[in-house]
Structure 1
Amino acid sequence: MKELFDFALAGANVIPTLLLIAMMLYWSIVLIGAIDLDFLDLDLDTDSSPDGHPEGSLEWLNRLLRFFNLGRVPLMIFLSFLILPLWLFCILVNDMLGIHSLLPGLITLGVGFWLCMFIAKVLTMPFVALFEKMEEEQNFSAIGKICTLQSTVSEGRIGQAVIEQRGKGAPMMLTVCSRPGTLVNSGETALVLEYQADRRCYLVEPYSI
């Protein structure tokens, strides 16, 4: 056990080991309720063109991330299924090849990263359907509610809004958009009209309480 501990902290394995430690600390904090599961979640469509598609310069990146299920499952779930196989890969390969120093270990890390991205994609597939179902349930409950904008939205600009649950649970965070020509400023209230699946956001319009 001591040999494994020493080898895990050797230069060749120190980066994946630190990532593993960070992941374990994160889940420990989640378990005690200090932060939510989606604390570091991804929003792939922050900037989009008026037709609801990502800006051209970022569209390829969004497609790549979604291919690996990023944005379809919470970020930290994906990273957990990435980091653990990556740590095991680096430990086993570096041990078999007798690699102990940092620079050769970076090569192992780079190769292992892309290999484990595909492993993480496969391992997270069962969670995609689960979180899509949860999202559908949230979509139904959000429509017709009043939200408060956390950032300004306008034509071609997607933002964030929050629905207060009034003592019935944590506030509901939404990704929102507006109709062409409609501006809703940060801090203003708006009515949630519908969920637009193609843009992955809720359509809102200004609404004064």
Structure 2
Amino acid sequence: MKETIDAAFSMINIIPTVLLILILIYWLTVIVGVFNVDSFDIDADADVDIDVDVEADIDMSAADSILWVNSALAFFNLGKIPFMLLLSFFALSLWVISMLMNYHLNNESVLLSLVYLIPNVFVSAFITKLITSPFVKLFAKAESDIESNRKLTGKMCLVTLSATHNKMGQAEIKIEGSSFIINVMSTEEKYSLRKGDSCLVIDYIPEKKIYLIEPYKN
């Protein structure tokens, strides 16, 4: 154990070790509630505006470059799952490979360890893609569910269980002959919703899976 710790904090492994420690600190702060999982989320998509009248060739070249970068990032699942989850697997892979590579090659040179770090980055990126691929469908489904729930905003509902701004109740929504029961709370403290009240769905809170509604006024 002592040898592993000494090797981890040696100069030849210090970069992957520091990165891994920062990741561990982040997840500890998530556990205690300082950050949330999406705090450092990154969107791999980019909006590209091309001016076809001025320097069209240059703009097209820049656009192609940006699209290529986006495709490369998307290939490694960036933007498809939370960035910090992706970075966590990458940092762990980078650290393990660095430790094993420098140990088995009997490397003690800091300069050589930096050279080894280059192929390590690429190998770790592919390992991260392999490990995180099962998560892509999971997060895609979760995002789809959230979007579906948001589409209910603006719909009419009938309160079936009384609710206030601080107390959760239930309401019924009828769409194309189908009936849905949703968890609800009123949008403001002044609204006290009773069974049988006709209300309007105003917003959806995905973290709590609760809809905010208020009395419908003709």
Which of 80, 84, 87 is the equivalent residue of 2:92? 84
Residue equivalent to 1:2: 2
Residue equivalent to 1:18: 18
Which of 71, 91, 111 is the equivalent residue of 1:103? 111
* Structure 1 residue ranges without an equivalent (≥5): 147-164, 173-209
What is the Cα deviation at residue 102 of structure 1?
Answer: 2.1
TM-score, normalised relative to structure 2: 0.62
Letter paired with 1:128? V
Higher relative contact order (CA 8 A, sep 6+): 1
Measured in 2, the distance between the counterparts of 1:27 and 1:76 equals 9
Count matched residues: 151
Measured in 2, the distance between the counterparts of 1:93 and 1:44 equals 31
CA displacement, residues 116-135 of structure 1 (integer Å, 9 cap, x when unaligned)? 11111010011001100011
Measured in 2, the distance between the counterparts of 1:166 and 1:129 equals 33
Taking only the aligned residue pairs, the percentage that are identical comes to 37
TM-score, normalised relative to structure 1: 0.65
Q: How does 1:143-154 map to 2 (within 5 A)?
A: 143=151, 145=153
Q: How does 1:189-208 map to 2 (within 5 A)?
A: none
Q: How does 1:11-50 map to 2 (within 5 A)?
A: 11-49=11-49
Q: Does residue 1:123 correspond to 2:126, yes or no? A: no
CA gap 1:131/1:27 in 2 versus in 1, 3 angstroms: same
* Structure 2 residue ranges without an equivalent (≥5): 51-61, 155-185, 189-203, 209-218
What is the Cα deviation at residue 105 of structure 1?
Answer: 0.8
Letter paired with 1:5? I
Measured in 2, the distance between the counterparts of 1:91 and 1:166 equals 54
What is the Cα deviation at residue 46 of structure 1?
Answer: 3.7
Higher radius of gyration, 1 or 2: 2
**Aligned-residue RMSD, C-alpha:** 2.6
What is the Cα deviation at residue 112 of structure 1?
Answer: 1.0
Which of 59, 82, 86 is the equivalent residue of 2:67? 59
